[in-house]
Amino acid sequence: MLDNTHAVTTEDFLFPSGPASLSARLYLPATPPMVAVVVHSATGVPRDYYKHFARWLAAERGMACLTYDYRDFGHSLIGSMKASKATMAEWALVDMPSARAEMRRRFPDAQQWSIGHSVGGLLGPIQPDIDQIDRMICVCSGLVTLTDHPWPYRALAWMFWNGHAPLAVKAMGYLPGKALGFGANLPASVYWQWRKWCTAPLNYVPEIGDTLPNARWAGSNTPVDLFAFKDDQMVPPDAVWRLADLYGPKARRHELSPSEFGLPEIGHIGAFARRNAAIWPQLTA
């Protein structure tokens, strides 16, 4: 599909990620881009949610931008979600690097940026291709656990990990997110790994050196910016700064408030909503 509105061209295609094929949409500016951006989605958020932000990057910043869905989710789902064995670690350690490899193949002379939303930046410190990333931007990404959430949101999170949600996963063979009001269905293995991390004292950190590779971002020269929002109840600033420590002492920390931009709220998901476009220039400055 081609869309020439506002001098931005879009291309839909599949790219390989291990044995999987991932569904992607590429937003291209009118002139050859100097920067190629991959947007790594939050958990349960389809690639199309980021279309306004991606179009803005192409039209206003002259950057090529790739949005995509992780394996067995969104447009990348093939077959039954109940049959999926995908894990969150595969999303992070196979799918994310594969998306960047696709952009390096297409734009070998451009700077390579990664913009991670929530889980899209959470596992950045253990990415296998850190030295091939020119800049990392994390938005609402943090080593969050139950005790980080403010009340009464903490009670809702407890129910999501210990109440109706795990019972539904066991019964259905996948997380029926749409029926539960979560917003999207997820493979069972993704849910269980996500649950394990978010109910552990330090999220996924105890697994480093075990089932996950060691964090090595601190030893690289790749710059990283982490953005936290004061009204984010899902991943509050303290959890973001804990992740910043894992990225290393050179990680730049930014705490933003909706009132700074004349907005009533931003929260965890709202950073990339078109109604909150006023914050986009600061995220990419």
Pairing relationship of beta strands 35-40 and 174-175 according to DSSP bridges: unpaired
Which amino acid, residue 111?
Answer: Q
| Residues forming a β-bridge with 113 | 37, 135
Angle ∠(28,30,32) on CA atoms, nearest 5: 75
How far, in Å, CA of 83 to CA of 17, rounded?
A: 18
How does the average pLDDT of the chain come out, rounded? 95
Q: Quick: pLDDT tens for 26-41.
A: 999 999 999 999 999 9
> Are the CB atoms for 12 and 22 separated by under 8 Å?
no
| Residues forming a β-bridge with 14 | 23
Predicted pLDDT at 3: 46
Q: Quick: pLDDT tens for 108-167.
A: 999 999 999 999 999 999 999 999 999 999 999 999 999 999 999 999 999 999 999 999
The DSSP element (H or E) to which 186 belongs, if any, is strand 186-187
pTM of the predicted model as reported, rounded to 2 decimal places:
0.95
